[in-house]
Amino acid sequence: MSKKMAIIGGGPVGLYLSILLAKSGHYVSVFEKGTWPVDKVCGQGIMPSGVELLKTIGIEVNNEESFSFSGVRYIDGDNVIEGRLKRPGLGMDRKVLSSKLHQLALLDSKITLKDQSKVDELSLYDKAVSISTNNNFEVFDYVFICDGLNSTFRRKLDLEVKRKGEHRMGARVHFECEPWCDKVEVYWNNGVEAYVTPVGNHKIEIAFLWFEKSIEKGAYLEERLFNLFPELSNKVKGKTKLNDFKAYGPFNTVSMAMKKGPVFLVGDAYKFLDGITGEGISLGLKAATVIAKNFENFSFIHKLKIGLIYLNYAIWVKLALMLSRNLIFRKIIFKFANKFSSFFDYILIMNDVQWGSKNS
Ligand SMILES: Cc1cc2nc3c(=O)[nH]c(=O)nc-3n(C[C@H](O)[C@H](O)[C@H](O)COP(=O)(O)OP(=O)(O)OC[C@H]3O[C@@H](n4cnc5c(N)ncnc54)[C@H](O)[C@@H]3O)c2cc1C
């Protein structure tokens, strides 16, 4: 029987979920506080598992608006190693991804898209949930919270947990230029990484991730970040910068549960640990796929499927952060990877497992 549902947050995960739910015959309202297309600080590289899921709902890919990358190249001074992906990943500007998902959702008459609709309150009843936006009050059978890293509703539902350890931050800026490499490049410095993701035949994005203590807060953040990577700075010298530098973070809160009664937390609202493994979007899409199919009879098995996907993510994030922080560990790994050329290929495959989240 078709249900009436609300999605709070029209980021990539919220929109993707709305399309899956509507395809199964449910009536879905998506509440987005901003206006589509919605921008966000992100590395903008989508791992192959995420690309596959986007294709199943009809997202089309072309080289003017996106870039199929073949792997990841890691650069630590003179040491360079590469990992090849089995299937291509996709570099796509966040606004392009948002626009494509929005266009698809518009085509489905079961989806009502409400922009400039910030949800203010949510109340849980036995078998229903009410939400209020701009003084309007509506009741739904299910609500899916997809309101991102700083989720208000995770806090309101008493599910927020602060993570221990050093906080991480992120930033991004775009350049208009031809990508010089068909892979995502990752430049390492102690505690700071720079990512170059081609997002089209004439556009790249540079994202930075760092431990909060590694970089002082304050003025000239962009210049100070680029100064840590002279080789990269030289590569973009003279290229047209789009002046959209934006920082974001810290990433230090998660949810202790993915469900409370008829309310589910999906995407970053559930968990985002770090951008270092380039997985946030794929993870959210995988979890959304499991939830869309099983929300009515959500059992231990479904929780386990999503739990394993996030456990795998947590392990690789931990290892990658060790690499970021520890120069000696990084040198050992780079040496090992240079000896065994397929070592990083396997790591990339292990990093991007699908585990029961195929949408077919
Ligand atoms: C520096 C950095 C680099 C990253 N690099 C990558 C990468 O290379 N690859 C990758 O896959 N992931 C990466 N990520 C992670 C990725 O950006 C996120 O995982 C992804 O955006 C999560 O999508 P989402 O839809 O869950 O949340 P979001 O994209 O944050 O969307 C949440 C939406 O909810 C809306 N909203 C919030 N509150 C309300 C409210 N009260 N009412 C209505 N609407 C509301 C917001 O306006 C927003 O549109 C990176 C993240 C960072 C910070």
Ligand 1 proximal residues by C-beta, below 6 Å: 8-14, 31-34, 38, 40-46, 118-119, 146-149, 152, 170, 207, 209, 248, 267-269, 272, 275, 278-282, 284
**Site of tokens 């089209």:** 200
Cα 343 to averaged position of ligand 1 atoms, centre (Å): 31
Give the per-residue pLDDT at 360.
61
As a whole-number percent, the residues of the chain with pLDDT over 70 amount to 99
> Domains in the chain and their CATH numbers?
45-92+167-250+323-360 (3.30.9.100)
Minimum-distance ligand 1 atom for the alpha carbon of 269: 26
Minimum-distance ligand 1 atom for the alpha carbon of 281: 11
Query: What does the alpha-carbon distance between residue 43 and residue 9 come to, in Å, rounded to a whole number?
Result: 20
pLDDT tens string 36-86: 999 999 999 999 999 999 999 999 887 779 999 999 999 998 899 999 999
Cα 202 to averaged position of ligand 1 atoms, centre (Å): 24
Give the per-residue pLDDT at 62.
77
Nearest residue (CA) to ligand 1, atom 6: 43
Give the per-residue pLDDT at 134.
83
What residue spans of the chain are helical by DSSP H? 12-23, 48-56, 94-106, 152-156, 221-227, 230-236, 280-294, 300-325, 327-339, 343-351
pLDDT tens string 111-128: 999 999 999 999 999 889
Residues of the chain where predicted confidence (pLDDT) is lower than 50? none
